[in-house]
């Protein structure tokens, strides 16, 4: 395969669990209110899995829809961005590939939490550029509510469950849908700002059940998220030779409406350029960007030829961005 081949977005799909949990339902059992949640996060409802539904289940459905969107039934590799794999070992991607009928293909997980989908795109693009694969299914899927303390009013209202996926194919840099520059970073010394302490090799079991739930230092995370997402977006714009005014749509990680608004202000973006669907889905971690892409394509916000920047920030700390000109794609 020619070394000039790049990754082109050819298919798009998303899937949300059917159960809707509104703010009033949360307010009935926690010391909060619909107004408090909406004004601080922009969220009115989120989707939550029913018992027995797993990350693999969500990923398979989103992956199936992305393949159908592209008119394909096969891929050479599956990259699953998730921080809620169905088990600690092995990775969940091989099971996703198997259930999609993609037996024998390369399949592995990428855990960069809320930045996972952007990291997954970079990984898929690298597989294509290296000639290892011609078609890569990149899925972002999380059952993030499984990591949230059900008694914590600071995190329960924020997170929801879901999955989104894209099929990347080998193509040319001048095509619509061709992924452009990537900008990826991490800052591990700040991991404790947003983490689950127990469950891994360092602290496999803890007598304190709170150690198995997400801890988030919200205000500090907010400041880092706004600054890092804006910096990263500028980096990919510079690499592509684009100006801020060239951006038709910014699809950011749907963490909090105020983060998106502050990032837009720091970049000097017009209000209608920064897309958000957080009101209806909440923060779905690695799934948030592909779900937002699918929603924006379905409602006509994204049009072929639009110059689109995608940016994310998450635990790790991790953050990153990429860009493309939007292709003609009908999401599944």
Residues carrying an active site annotation: 114, 253, 283
Alpha-carbon span 328 to 302, nearest angstrom: 10
For residue 59, give the nearest of 90, 13, 102, 103 by alpha carbon: 13
Number of other CB atoms surrounding residue 203 within 10 Å:
12
Alpha-carbon span 71 to 68, nearest angstrom: 5
Going from the C-alpha of 137 to that of each of 22, 250, 297, 322, 331, the distances in angstroms are 32, 23, 19, 17, 14
Identify the residue whose tokens are 């193509």. 171
Alpha-carbon span 68 to 101, nearest angstrom: 13
Q: Which long-range contacts (CB under 8 A, 24 or more apart) does 150-155 make?
A: 151/30, 152/213, 153/26, 153/30, 153/31, 153/32, 154/216, 154/218, 155/213, 155/214, 155/216
The alpha carbons of the chain give a radius of gyration, in whole angstroms, of 19
Answer yes or no: are the C-beta atoms of 37 and 43 closer than 8 Å. yes
């Amino acid at each position: 395969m020619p070394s000039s081949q790049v990754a082109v977005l050819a298919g798009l799909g998303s899937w949300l669990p059917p159960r809707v949990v509104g703010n009033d339902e949360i307010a009935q059992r926690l010391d909060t209110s619909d107004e408090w949640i909406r004004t601080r996060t922009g969220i009115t409802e989120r989707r939550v899995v029913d018992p027995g539904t797993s990350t693999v289940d969500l990923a398979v459905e989103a992956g199936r829809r992305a393949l159908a969107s592209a008119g394909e039934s096969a891929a050479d590799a599956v990259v699953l961005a998730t921080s809620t794999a169905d088990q600690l070992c092995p990775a969940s991607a091989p099971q996703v590939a198997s259930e999609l009928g993609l037996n024998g293909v390369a399949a592995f997980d990428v855990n960069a939490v809320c930045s996972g989908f952007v990291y997954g795109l970079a990984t898929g693009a690298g597989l294509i550029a290296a000639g290892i694969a011609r078609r890569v299914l990149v899925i972002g899927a999380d059952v993030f509510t499984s990591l949230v303390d059900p008694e914590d009013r600071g995190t329960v209202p924020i997170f929801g469950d879901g999955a989104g996926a894209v099929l990347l194919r080998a193509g040319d840099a001048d095509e619509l849908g061709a992924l452009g520059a990537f900008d990826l970073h991490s800052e591990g010394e700040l991991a404790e700002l947003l983490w689950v302490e127990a469950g891994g090799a360092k602290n496999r079991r803890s007598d304190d059940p709170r150690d198995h739930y997400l801890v988030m230092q919200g205000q500090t995370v907010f400041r880092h998220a706004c600054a890092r997402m804006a910096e990263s977006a500028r980096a990919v714009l510079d690499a592509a030779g684009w100006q801020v005014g060239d951006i038709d749509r910014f699809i950011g990680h749907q963490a909090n409406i105020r983060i998106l608004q502050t990032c837009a202000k720091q970049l000097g973006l017009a209000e209608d350029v920064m897309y958000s669907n957080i009101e209806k889905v909440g923060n779905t971690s690695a799934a948030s960007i592909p779900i937002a892409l699918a929603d924006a394509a379905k409602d006509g916000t994204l049009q072929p030829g639009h110059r689109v920047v995608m940016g994310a920030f998450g635990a790790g700390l991790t953050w990153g961005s990429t860009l493309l000109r939007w292709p003609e794609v009908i999401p599944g």
